[in-house]
Chains A and B, each alone.
Chain A
Amino acid sequence: MTAQPVLTAHDVSIEYQVDPPVNAVQGVSLTLHRGEILGLAGESGCGKTTLAYGLNRLLKAPALQTSGEIVFHDAAGDIDVVGLSGDALRRYRWDKVSMVFQGSMNSLNPVMSVKAQLDDVFRTHRPGMGRAERAARSAELLGLVGVDPSRLTAFPHELSGGMRQRVMIAMALALDPKVMIMDEPTTALDVVVQRGIIREIMRLRERLGFAVIFITHDLPLLIEISDRIAVMLEGRIVELDDAERIYRTPQHAYTKRLLASFPSLRGDRGGFVRRRDDEEGASAS
C-alpha cells in the first residue's frame, strides 16, 4: 500500500481561553494516510476529542486554534482547512471529513425519524438530489451498516443502542467522505455489540477505502484494529508508531504504563498484586 497522505496536521495548538487558559492541544503534528486506521489513544482530559474537533473545524469558543496548519489533500488539490469559512467550510465538513461523535447513541434527534435525519444530510449537502434518489440512497446506507432498510421510518427510541450507533455510522458515510473521525464510537456499548460494529467499520473501510481516526482509551482494541497508533498525553502526542511496535516495543513511559493498565486476557498474570498462593491457604481451610 503506497502511503498517500489524505489529512496532514502540522504543529496544531488549541487553547481554551478561560482563566487561566488551558492548553488542551500543544504542537501536535500527524499525517493520516489514505485508507488507514489511525488510533488515537489517551485518557480523559488528554485533548484527544479537542484535537478531533479541531481537525473538523468544530471548535467553539472558548476553544481556539492558536497555531498550526491542517491540510486536506483532495483529488482536486489541497484544502487549507484552517482558512475555510462560509460555504467552503460547509463543503468540507461531512463531505470530506465526517465524524461519529462520542456518546452518539444519544446524538440522534429523538423527534425525527431516521429517514428524515438522513434526508437532512442530503438536502443540505446534495441539493440536486431528488426525493426518490434520497430515499434510495438512505435505504442503501442502512443496508451497508447492517440495519434493515425497513427501519428507516423508525424513531431513535425504537432502536437498540447498537442499531443507533450503526445509524450514526450510516450518516457519517452518507456523503462518501475520505476521512471518518470516530470518537469513542463503541464505548457505551456491550462488548458483543461493540465487536459487531468494529467488524462493520473494518469491512466498510475495505470496501469504500476511507481513512479512520479512531479515538479511544481502549489500547488493546486499538492495537488489534489500527495500522498506526498515536498516544496522547496532556495535549501532546508522546508516541506515534505502527500498532505492532507500540504493542511489542513501546518507547515512552506513558505508553508502557497505559499498556500495563490492561491485564492480559489469556496470557500471564504479570505483575499483579493478587497472589495465588494466598488462595491455596484459603481453599484448604
Chain B
Amino acid sequence: MSDRTTADAEGLEARNLVRDYRIRHGMRGSTLHAVADVSFTIRPGRTIALVGESGSGKSTVARILARLEAVTSGSVLLDGVRAPVRGAALDAYRSRVQMVFQDPFSSLNPFHTILHHIERPLRIHHPRMSAAEARDRAHELLERVQLTPSSKFAERRPHELSGGQRQRVAIARALAPGATYIIADEPVSMLDVSIRLGVLNLLADLQRSDGLGVLYITHDLATARHFSDEILVMYRGEIVERGDADTVILDPQHAYTRTLLDAAADPDRLGQLREEVRRGG
C-alpha cells in the first residue's frame, strides 16, 4: 500500500478524489457527486484557497484530507505516501495534518481549561513527554498564537474567551501535535469583522515562520486573494478554475468564477446597483 514514489514528492496531495453520497427518495435512490475528481497538492510554506458556495463540496474535501471522511475513489498522499485509514499510522498522519474548524464556539470543550485543550494533543501524540514538558510546551504554543501572557489564559475556560481568542486556541491546538499541514475550514467566518484579519495574519505568520502548508477554505474571495498563493474555485464537486491568486481574481476565465466575483460586495461599485435597478436591470 505505502508505495513511496519520488523523493521530491514533499507535500499533501489530493489525487483524483471522488466522494459520492447515496440519496434516497422513498424506494428509489440516486447518487450525489459531492466531490468529483479533485486533485491538488499543498506544498510546505504555501497556501491554497478553496473557494465556492455551500454545497460545492469544499468541506468534504477538507474532511477527506483530515481523514474524517472516506473516499469513494482516489487517494490522499502525504510526501508521496498514501495516507493511512486506521491505527497508529493514522495517528502519525494526524500529528502532521490538522484541522481548524469554522465554529470556535463549538469546537472547544466548555468543560476543560484552555491549557487542557493544548496539553491533551501534546500528550497523545508525544506519549513520552513529561507533564512538566507538556505544560511548558503548551504555554509556548499559547504565546505563539499571541495569547499573551499565556499564564493569563491557561487556566481559563472557553466561555471566558472571545471568538477570536478561541480561534487562536484552536490554531494552537492544531499546531500542538507538530502539524505541518493545516486545513482551515472557514476559520474566520464566524468572527467579528475587525478581528478576522488578525487571525488570518496570525495564520500567515505561522505559515511563514514554520513553513506550514495551508488549505484555506472560504467563500470570501477577497481574503482568498490576499492570503493564498493559489486559488481553486469549486462548483458542484468539481474544480472549475485554478491558478495564481491574482490571476483568478483579476482575470477570471470560467463563467462561475465571474458569477462569484460579481456577487462579492465591492465598495468601488458604489451606487452602481441602484442605477442598474433604475434602468430596469
Task: Collect the chain B residues with CB atoms within 8 Å of residue A262's CB.
Answer: 193, 222, 267
Interface locus among A141-149, A164-172, A267-275 = A267-275
User: What's the nearest-Cβ distance from chain A to residue B144, in Å?
Assistant: 15
A contact residues around B227 at 8 Å (CB): 274
Residues of chain A contacted by B255 (CB below 8 angstroms): none
Say yes or no: is B260 at the interface (Cβ < 8 Å to chain A).
yes
- B53's partner among A191, A218, A243, A261 (CB-CB below 8 A) is A191
Contacts of A257 in B (CB 8 A): 194
* Number of cross-chain contacts by CB at 8 Å: 104
Report Cα–Cα, A224/B272, bound state, in Å.
7
| Closest chain B residue to A43, Cβ basis | B192
Q: Which of B166-190 contact A (CB under 8 A)?
A: none
- Choose among A198, A257, A263 the residue with the greatest number of B CB atoms under 10 Å from its CB: A263
What distance in Å separates the Cβ of A219 from its nearest Cβ neighbour in chain B? 7
Q: Contact at B196–A266, with CB atoms within 8 Å? A: no
Q: Is B242 an interface residue (CB 8 A)?
A: no
Contact call A265/B263, Cβ cutoff below 8 A: no
Residue with the highest number of chain A CB atoms closer than 10 Å, among B53, B260, B268:
B268
Q: Given the interface contacts A206-B278, A261-B194, does A224 sit within 8 Å of B269 by beta carbon?
A: yes
Residues on B with beta carbons closer than 8 Å to the beta carbon of A261? 193-194, 196-197
Residues from chain B with a CB closer than 8 A to the CB of A18 are: none
Closest to A200 in B: B277
Q: Please encode chain B, from 187 to 223, with 1 for each CB lying within 8 Å of some chain A CB and 0 for all others.
A: 0000011101100010011001000000000010111
Smallest beta-carbon distance A241→chain B, Å: 13
- Contact A190 B270, beta carbon cutoff 8 Å: no
Residue among A260, A262, A269, A282 with the highest chain B CB neighbour number at 10 A: A262
B208 and A266 contact, CB distance less than 8 A: no
Give bound CA distance, A264 to B267, whole Å.
9
- Is the pair B225, A224 in contact by a Cβ cutoff of 8 Å? no
Least Cβ–Cβ distance between B83 and chain A, in angstroms? 24
In the A-B complex, the 7 residue pairs with the smallest Cβ-Cβ separation, listed nearest first, are A221-B265, A223-B267, A195-B263, A220-B265, A190-B53, A191-B263, A265-B222
Known: A199-B273, A274-B204. 12 other contacts (CB 8 A): A44-B192, A202-B273, A206-B277, A218-B265, A224-B271, A244-B271, A247-B267, A257-B194, A265-B249, A273-B205, A274-B227, A282-B45
29 contacts between A and B (CB under 8 A): A44-B192, A190-B53, A190-B219, A191-B53, A192-B263, A195-B263, A199-B273, A202-B277, A206-B278, A219-B267, A220-B267, A224-B265, A224-B267, A224-B269, A224-B270, A224-B271, A244-B270, A244-B271, A263-B223, A263-B225, A263-B226, A265-B249, A265-B261, A265-B264, A266-B266, A267-B268, A269-B226, A273-B205, A274-B201
